[in-house]
Amino acid sequence: MALTSSMLFSSVGKKLLNAVSGLTLLGFILAHLIGNLTLLTGNSDAFNAYGHFLIHKTGVLLYVFEYGLIVFFLLHIITAVSVWWDQQVARPTSYKKTASGGDTSKKTLSSTTMIYTGALILVFAIMHLITFKYGPAEAQGYTTIVDGVEMRDLYRLSIEVFLKPGYLIWYIIANALLGLHIRHGFWSAFQSLGLNHPRCTPILYKLGIVVALIMGFGFVVIPAYIYFKGGVL
Ligand code: HEM
């Protein structure tokens, strides 16, 4: 069946786009978490070489990846806000005053705060990019040499950042909210994609909790470990 523009902007179309973009972003942060775990090994060369490879050795793929990430982020935000807005207009009583509809409605703290946790994750992502991607680099003396190649010392920056208690607290709060967002978003995305089956749904619901815990804890463990060990080396 061909996808027309009126289908895309229908409630179902928006939920579909929201689900696809959300799961794609989840794929990115899962890969990002795995890559960042190398920080905990204390192997600064491995971490810096990994960052250098992504930025300087992936050629045109880097642009596809970065622009793709921006498009998916925007798509996810626009469709989420639009679906949320439609619900506000359609529903006179606020979410808070509505009782849970039981197991089938899955009304939880996570599901009723999606728009707020999403907004905070956006703030976090922007600040995170300012700190790391656009933070101190070679020009500010953050340079190292790995296997004879001069590159940005992202390892030094990461350790310095996470030794500051303010960053630690902020990363704990933001990533707990990220976990809360994923806890409902994961399951809900599969519902929007039509995977609604008495046998699949409970499994996806539980899997969502596991994925949320992995992501939330994973991103909290990295700054916490660095902070409490006073660095990693
Ligand atoms: C302990 C947690 C984290 C660490 C140590 C970390 C580390 C980094 C570093 C070092 C970069 C810069 C890469 C470069 O410029 O070469 C980066 C980029 C980025 N991070 Fe994180 N990150 C963490 C958590 C997160 C989370 C939770 C998200 C999403 C919600 C996220 C989203 C991003 C994005 C979108 C980029 C830019 C990617 C690009 O444009 O290539 N990060 N991160």
CA-nearest residue, atom 7 of ligand 1:
36
| Structural domain that includes position 132 | 12-88+111-229
Substitution site in 24, 32, 77 for ligand 1 pocket (most atoms within 8 Å of beta carbon)? 32
106 in a domain, yes or no? no
For residue 107, the CA-to-ligand 1 centroid distance in Å is: 31
CA-nearest residue, atom 6 of ligand 1:
36
Please indicate whether residue 158, judged by its CB atom, sits closer than 6 Å to ligand 1. yes
38 in a domain, yes or no? yes
CA-nearest residue, atom 5 of ligand 1:
36
221 in a domain, yes or no? yes
The C-alpha R_g of the chain, in whole angstroms, comes to 20
52 in a domain, yes or no? yes
101 in a domain, yes or no? no
Give the chain's domain count: 1
pLDDT digits (tens, 9 = 90+) for 122-160: 999 999 999 999 999 999 999 999 999 999 999 999 999
Angle at the Cα of 81 (from 79 to 86), degrees rounded to 5? 95
Q: What contacts 24+ positions apart, CB below 8 Å, involve 157-160?
A: 157/132, 158/39, 158/47, 158/132, 158/226, 159/39, 159/226, 159/231, 159/232
63 in a domain, yes or no? yes
Q: Is the pLDDT of residue 96 over 70?
A: no
Count of C-beta atoms within a 10 Å radius of residue 233: 9
48 in a domain, yes or no? yes
CA–CA distance, 151 with 54 (Å, rounded to integer): 12
CA-to-CA dists, residue 200 to 48, 170, 190, 194, angstroms: 41, 36, 10, 11
Residue 99: predicted pLDDT: 46
Q: Is the pLDDT of residue 224 over 90?
A: yes
Q: Is the pLDDT of residue 117 over 90?
A: yes
150 in a domain, yes or no? yes
% residues pLDDT > 90 (the chain): 75
Please indicate whether residue 133, judged by its CB atom, sits closer than 6 Å to ligand 1. yes
CA-nearest residue, atom 10 of ligand 1:
132
User: What is the model's pTM?
Assistant: 0.89
Q: What is the mean pLDDT of the chain?
A: 90
